[in-house]
Amino acid sequence: MKLVRTNIILLISMLIAMSFATIATAQPHPVPIMDGLAHTGVPSCATAGCHGDQVTGDGAGPVVGQNEYFQWRSSTEKGAHSRAYEVLLTPHAKRIANNLGVGAAQKAAECLDCHADNVASEQRSQRFQISDGVGCEACHGGAQNWLAFHRIGAGHEKNIEAGLYPTEDPVARARLCFGCHLGSSFENQFVNHRIMGAGHPRLKFELDLYTTVQQHHRVDDGYRQRKSVAPGAQVWAIGQALGLERTLELLLDNKTGRSGVFPELVFFDCHSCHQPISNGIADLDWRPNPGRSVGPGMPILNDANLIMLQAVMSVIDPGVARRLESEGRSLHMASLHSGSQFRASAETLRAIAADAADSIMTADLADASIVRGILLEIVGTEQANRYTNYAAAEQALFAIQRLGAALQLEGPEFTDSIEKASGAVQSPYTYNQNAFKTALSDISRQIGR
């Protein structure tokens, strides 16, 4: 028995040595769809001795819950990634694909690059199935090199060195998730106005909320010993900063920022144009916004991330907040003038967003007083006047929910105010800013006690 055990250990050591040789020249932390590694498929993670051992409950494995596969396969929102490919088989997807002229949705790269782990055929192992949708390796990276470390418990750092994507790092997580949920410069990872015009739903995303909804593992003391765990407020804030930065990068990229003679319209607020036109006075929806000097009838850049980021920085770095305010206003004005002026302003604002991200990563967003201050900014009257468009109100509602959770705010009065705010933001076509502001005022009063 000792001889057999020794041979197994020697074999594992050889595999590890080979793995290190393979990764010696690898790019540090490329996103999984571009990692160039073999993707071994969901079955390599879902065995009974690994992440598919505990079918129900919170999981009771000695190190991890061992129910992560079943969490990923859940019929609730938690299992949305596992059903991403199945969406492509629906009549709605078929209609979108027909409108786009790309053939069957479940075979089109334009669809698969976000609805599945669509790596190149030479990177797919024997057990890999594209029909698994957004599987384990779509987020954690091709397991070709790190699976051996992972199975023997070599430690998280070894796994990362071998190519496991560091999803616990909020910056790396944001850059990964934005690929599908906001867009990237990679081919087929950008939902433009053409695709939305064909019937694709509007993209909406907030990093901390989606992280929570899609979490397939338990975060216990053992997890915290193995990995760093960023506070939820920090995850939320970095998502706002990097969301603005990514949007401006795509806007400035000639491949994604333009569509013929037009700017790419997906960067503009959908509902500044897509709203009912009526002769009734009560239905006239336009109102001035203190953060912009843009009149009625003009396409408005979607500034939801900018508005949220201003609230964050007003608490942790007021100087950066003032720069965001000034350059954001300049960008809106430049969009009505020359292309060169617009690009210059967008470049400046992108650099400020990067500075804001650096400040967020060094700020103590586990400090309840800082988080409370940010939340009070978001629900305050000055900010509430900026929620003239649905997208900004939607992000504000996400922020209230996530920062409220970070502060452990609860009780029937707070829940009631959240429900009232949610009711005002139920639909872009029924968004009621006055009702939303009233609900925010109630929340502000409760937080300020």
- Per residue in 314-344, pLDDT (tens digit) is 999 999 999 999 999 999 999 888 889 999 9
CB atoms within 10 A of CB 11: 11
- Shared domain for 420 and 273, answered yes or no, is yes
369's tokens: 């007083």
- Shared domain for 148 and 258, answered yes or no, is no
* Domain annotation covers residue 98: yes
- Shared domain for 433 and 333, answered yes or no, is yes
pLDDT of residue 184: 96
Question: CA 338 to CA 342: how far, in whole Å?
Answer: 6
* Domain annotation covers residue 227: no
Question: CA 60 to CA 449: how far, in whole Å?
Answer: 41
Q: Which of 131, 160, 189 represents a domain boundary (last residue)? A: 160
Q: Which of 160, 183, 207 represents a domain boundary (last residue)? A: 160
Per the structure, the complete domain to which residue 16 belongs is given by 2-160
56: left (phi over 0), alpha (psi -120 to 50) or beta: beta
pLDDT of residue 24: 36
- The full DSSP string for 135-146 is -HHHHH--TTTT
Question: CA 132 to CA 118: how far, in whole Å?
Answer: 10
- Shared domain for 130 and 247, answered yes or no, is no
Cβ burial of 381 (10 Å; 0-12, 13-18, 19+) is exposed
- Shared domain for 95 and 241, answered yes or no, is no
* Domain annotation covers residue 189: no
Task: Please name the residue that has the structure tokens 């060195």.
Answer: 161
C-alpha distances out from residue 251 to 99, 188, 258, 351, 415, Å: 25, 16, 8, 14, 38
- Shared domain for 257 and 344, answered yes or no, is yes
Residue 282 neighbours by CB under 8 Å, 6+ apart = none
What backbone phi and psi angles, to 5 degrees, belong to 262? -100, 155
Q: How many domains does the chain have?
A: 2
* Domain annotation covers residue 262: yes
| Cβ 324 vs Cβ 349: under 8 Å | yes
C-alpha distances out from residue 50 to 55, 60, 66, 213, Å: 12, 12, 6, 22
- Shared domain for 361 and 260, answered yes or no, is yes
Q: Which of 98, 127, 160 represents a domain boundary (last residue)? A: 160
- Shared domain for 135 and 243, answered yes or no, is no
pLDDT of residue 44: 94
pLDDT of residue 26: 39
* Domain annotation covers residue 121: yes
pLDDT of residue 80: 96
Dihedral (CA of 300, 442, 422, 219) sign: positive
pLDDT of residue 19: 42
pTM: 0.90
pLDDT of residue 75: 92
393's tokens: 């109100």
pLDDT of residue 18: 42
- Shared domain for 287 and 394, answered yes or no, is yes
In tens, the pLDDT along 38-55 reads 999 999 999 888 999 877
All residue ranges of the chain with pLDDT < 50 are 1-27
* Domain annotation covers residue 128: yes
Question: CA 388 to CA 269: how far, in whole Å?
Answer: 11
* Domain annotation covers residue 165: no
* Domain annotation covers residue 8: yes
Print burial letters for 186-199: b (CB count within 10 Å at least 16), e (below 16).
eebbbbbbebbeee
- Shared domain for 237 and 384, answered yes or no, is yes
- Shared domain for 156 and 245, answered yes or no, is no
- Shared domain for 118 and 247, answered yes or no, is no
